[in-house]
Structure 1
């Protein structure tokens, strides 16, 4: 079992000088990711090092699905100088841009300790701002690291590379290597113009070939199994790959999101979550060992219910029922547990968004829905439109992968190379919440089924290409997921609509997100819907611009424009005739000019898209789902 190392090299930095937004701390700069600050590069440490300096946020459904007590959002206002996030120094190798000395941070700190004044050492004993004491220059972090597909990461083997790749042929590593990082004397471009030199023995090597996939294997260097974010290492037999420090493929966060829906959005739930009595209960539960946890909760449930009811001046029986629902979780192997990325979880949201939950619950603090008269819209194949004036979404960082992204539908250990951000005993994940608005569009499943029957051969020929590419990809080796025509259709319509809405509603495409609700006949229930909502907003939500575009006098025009826009791409005929483009060739007729969105807006990281299913191809116009509507100009 993996464990945490001692709390050395873990730093808390002033939030004025070293800060990231709460959303960034969960997404691109989450646990295990490197953050480039003006004076140095740091890696976000495991949440166990953050302490209690986070704001607790709650979503009962997601807490049960992930089996935690709460989600911790960095940036608590209780602490003026502390942002709540802990960092560790990585990469550890830094060089001076003036004297070109290149060495680990511990060597730089040793020099600092020798040459710094007494006052400097008293104020800053660990040299929080890396600098060369000889040249009075700020240090520059190494631009290269090595990582493996199991999520481990380490510094590039500079000493070994300089000697093993020595241009003189002498591969012996000297006893006291002193490395410098220099550019070539000629105008040679690329890695061949960068030199790593040992001043002790004059060994010199260029960085040519350092980024080859088998470069470390040729060097005989196996992965160190290092995990700097938790100050720990494990055994690993992989051969790592050299990568640029800022490469996007170095960190793929696995973020699970959830909409807070009735009855969980009722105001009393939020009041309980923010009460002192509930915080006290969670602190107690966090200290309990796993076997006795449920029994201890049952013993104290009446006392907690009484304390919270007095604090909130609320009905004790109501409080007790909610606490029972929230705290008495099912066992890990219980069949009632719902996968946060699964269909059953989405079905609960679908029923709330489509109005299948009792109306008495729908005018709540975090969820406000308005029904519309679909007869006024006149959009073909659209069964219903709901306007969601208020919605709260909670997003939790559960883990990450390196080098290859994870499948959106897989969670936890099912993901190859997945690294959890927390230890098994830790009862919370880093997370944040967003309040916003959205448009929910439900399609007629019968119309989609009829379209599939009429164009069965043409459609399945295209979908087979996507599935073949998916099975041939790295992800396909580890999943049984099958991409269906209905899913690709709904997904592509959502992308086209988001692109058009970004011109109409005042939000950029990056500020909007999609959420897909798609089921197949064998699932036993019908879902054929898309939900487009704002991906960012303050504590009070957004200004209503998106919902305004959902009314009958706006949405039909916007929807028609979106479909017409998808009919022709500036890269046609190349795009519409494509047999595979994008990551792992998982898109057909969809490129950056017509169907792709910012990756944060898409649930599937911009794959499984095909305009041809919506508008047809030049040769097969009849295949398009909206072929008839396009004929009406």
Structure 2
């Protein structure tokens, strides 16, 4: 396990270092364990529509804002095989050296050089993860009889020839004890051969996660924890690859217009007491015990009531009502189909879309928004946006529900053992701007240029359709989405310069209803640190400031410093899902984009029309209207 001196920010426990992720700290590599091995976070976070979407089955818990030794996530070292850059040996960690030096050290070198985690691991599309048995791999070119004669495990070496750019065929694993012929990693390039992994009988996949097993664990014990997996192969991959871990996150903005039910006392202590009672005797017996005349928890309730400065009767009533509410929620339908689970984030966004369509000014503690018409702005501004809203304060809840690997055939839960009644969560506050596109302009544009626009983006849509046959990508593909998503990225890039926030601090939420040609973009920041509420972003929501932003935006849509290469490239970016969109003009930080920097096309905005033998983009169309 990682020592107590290793720390990370609270937000990183959701992304990018949530359950199942590989994390490098000070040259050491770990994988984050599932929450059954965490010390439970103490802070309970509530958001009614998010709790309701999850069926009220799981509490949302976040780590405290202060250092609390009673709560922490845990990790396991992964991979266990390490490489010494000085003597080129491959070796499993020596626990004695690890405890002595506090970090992985080489057992072969006299100088006890620091070891580096082996770069390559194996995963399957159902979410399982393991490492290679490099001793078996080094002997894989020998006959089984010869392999069995070698019992030396500390003479495995990993070297590169230095020829031909150091590709996989130049990376060699060799056993010097039996002088077996070296085996190049090219043998693993297409697939991870089951014989080189610790795997379950009659299946090619290990069926486990790193925190469930250990390389020296007996085969029988591994079989006990391994699950059945029908994948025919595991993939060979560098451990830093983005395909190894993709978090499944639910994100919701607190936009509730209902008056929140609140107690006239601090109920946090009573909530903890109720949890302890339920954990001790169960929910059904908890209610019976609290309602009985012989209530064995009477003394505790009196003490907690005194702390909350309320009467015993009021505290007891609160506990009974809370317990009954939990019982009612337990009878809710929690058997979501796979399709319903996939649509949870879509449903959250739909709620927010319905709110923004109403253009209601709200002034609440956790959500403060004021809409303003763009009629007083420049002609270009008013034709592009009908309304702009200043979001002076917002509250965002992000919940980690699971993760996927590779093609993402299976969502792996953050609680594989299903032992916990909570989900890891973060609560962040910030500010933002909401841009509502001018529906009249959008409708006119698609009426006049819809055919050529569809022809422009059809290639991207076809690539996405093919990818969805193998990968579960939650990326919309409508014409209006591609246009709006590209505009969102250009706005973020420009607002980064104007607002004073770093490029990774701004986030996007894209709202699109193709049936009614409604589109909206929320650019916001919500972080747990001080960068969340500086006020620089809201200040850019002034109409005169937006006029200046759009002047620059028009230029960046028309011309990229990588043109004409960027402009004329039909396929680029993630799996070829982008066109005319590169790091110089359209891409933003991975954590800022909701859709993996995919389905972007700068020509949808900056296309110059027939004069340049290309589609007339939205900006060019607006200039013609002016």
| Global fold match (TM > 0.5) | yes
Query: How far off is 1:130 after superposition?
Result: 2.8
Once residues 47 and 610 of structure 1 are traced to their aligned partners in structure 2, the CA distance between those partners, rounded to angstroms, is: 40
Q: From 479, 483, 490, give the equivalent of 2:484.
A: 490
**Match of residue 177 from structure 1:** 152
Q: Which residue of 11, 20, 24 corresponds with 1:36?
A: 24
Partner residue, 1:501: 495
Q: Distance in 1 between matches of 2:258 and 2:81?
A: 49
Unaligned runs of 5+ in 1: 1-10, 405-414
- Verify the 8 A CA contact 1:437 1:541 in the aligned structure 2: yes
Matched, 1:348 2:351: yes
Question: 1:563-582 maps to which residues of 2 (within 5 A)?
Answer: 563-582=554-573
Deviations 1:304-335 (A, max 9, x none): 99989993879999999999888854422589
The residue number in structure 1 matching 2:461 is 467
Which of 205, 211, 214 pairs up with 1:229?
211
Structure 1: distance between partners of 2:412 and 2:27:
28
Aligned residue number for residue 402 of structure 1: 405
Q: Show the 5 A alignment for 1:251-290.
A: 251-263=245-257, 268=262, 275-284=268-277
Say if 2:194 and 2:205, in contact at 8 Å, map to a contact too: no
2:193 to 216, 223, 243: 216
Q: Secondary structure at the match of 2:555?
A: helix
How well do the aligned residues superpose, as a CA RMSD in angstroms? 4.1
How many residues matched? 584
Partner of 1:626 in structure 2? 619
Partner secondary structure for residue 384 of structure 1: strand
On the 8 A contact 2:157/2:175 being kept in 1, the answer is no
The answer on whether the counterparts of 1:401 and 1:418 sit within 8 Å (CA) in structure 2 is yes
Deviation at 1:591, TM superposition (A): 1.8
Summarize the Cα distance change of 1:474–1:185 in structure 2 as closer, same or farther, 3 Å threshold: same
Which residue is equivalent to 2:374? 374
Which consecutive residues of structure 2, in runs of 5 or more, have no partner in the other structure? 214-224, 293-297
- Change over 3 Å in CA distance of 1:171–1:70 after alignment to 2: same
SS at match of 2:228: coil
- Paired with 1:531 and 1:324, the residues of 2 have a C-alpha distance of 39
Task: Give the direction of change, closer, same or farther, for the CA distance of 1:558–1:370 in structure 2 (3 Å limit).
Answer: same
Q: Counterpart of 2:295?
A: none
Counterpart for residue 130 of structure 1:
104
* Aligned twin of 1:434: 428
Cα 1:543–1:576 shift into 2, 3 Å? same
Compared with structure 1, are the counterparts of its residues 169 and 575 closer, same or farther at alpha carbon in structure 2 (3 Å cutoff)?
Answer: farther
Report how far residue 577 of structure 1 moved: 3.2
- Tell me, yes or no, if the aligned pair for 2:138 and 2:156 is still in contact at 8 Å: no
Q: Are 2:359 and 1:389 equivalent residues in the alignment? A: no
Q: Distance in 2 between matches of 1:630 and 1:319?
A: 64
Q: Retained in 1: the 8 A contact 2:265–2:310?
A: no
Look up the SS of the partner of 1:183 in the other structure: strand
Greater mean deviation of Cα atoms: 277-286 or 303-312: 303-312
Counterpart residue number, 1:311: 308
Quote the offset at 1:602 in angstroms.
Answer: 0.7
Distance 1:187 1:295, change over 3 A: same
Shift of 1:158: 0.8
Q: 2:119 aligns with which of 143, 146, 153?
A: 143
Deviation at 1:377, TM superposition (A): 2.6
Instruction: Report 1:318-357 matches (<5 A).
Output: 328-329=328-329, 330-333=332-335, 341-353=344-356, 356=359
User: Residues of 2 paired with 1:192 and 1:386: CA distance?
Assistant: 57
- Residue 266 of structure 1 contacts residue 366 of structure 1 at CA under 8 Å; is this kept in 2? no
Distance 1:298 1:561 in 2: 65
For the pair 1:23 / 2:11, whether they are aligned, the reply is yes
The aligned counterpart of 2:3 is 13
- DSSP-derived class of the 2:139 partner: helix
Q: Residue deviations 1:340-392, cap 9 Å, x none? A: 645442232234456655x5xx3222111223243223421422111001111
Give 1:410's aligned residue.
none
SS in 1 for 2:193: helix
For the structure 1 residues 299 and 484, does the alpha-carbon distance in structure 2 shift closer, same or farther, using more than 3 Å as the test? farther
Match of 1:89 among 77, 84, 104: 77
Q: TM-score, normalised by structure 2?
A: 0.81
* C-alpha distance in 2 between matches for 1:51 and 1:285: 19
Q: How has the CA–CA distance of structure 1 residues 185 and 332 changed in structure 2, closer, same or farther, with 3 Å as cutoff?
A: closer
Q: Find the counterpart in structure 1 of residue 594 from structure 2.
A: 603
* C-alpha distance in structure 2 between counterparts of 1:603 and 1:530, whole Å: 12
Q: Distance in 2 between matches of 1:309 and 1:526?
A: 58
- Cα deviation 1:235-292 (Å, max 9, x = unaligned): 33431122112222222222221111224795949986x72223334555667879x6
Equivalent-residue separation in structure 2 for 1:137 and 1:434 (angstroms)? 42
The partner residue of 1:243 within 237, 246, 251 is: 237
> How far has the Cα of 1:604 moved from its partner?
0.5
Report the CA distance shift for 1:341/1:42 in structure 2 as closer, same or farther (over 3 A): same
Instruction: Summarize the Cα distance change of 1:270–1:474 in structure 2 as closer, same or farther, 3 Å threshold.
Output: farther
1:407 aligns with: none
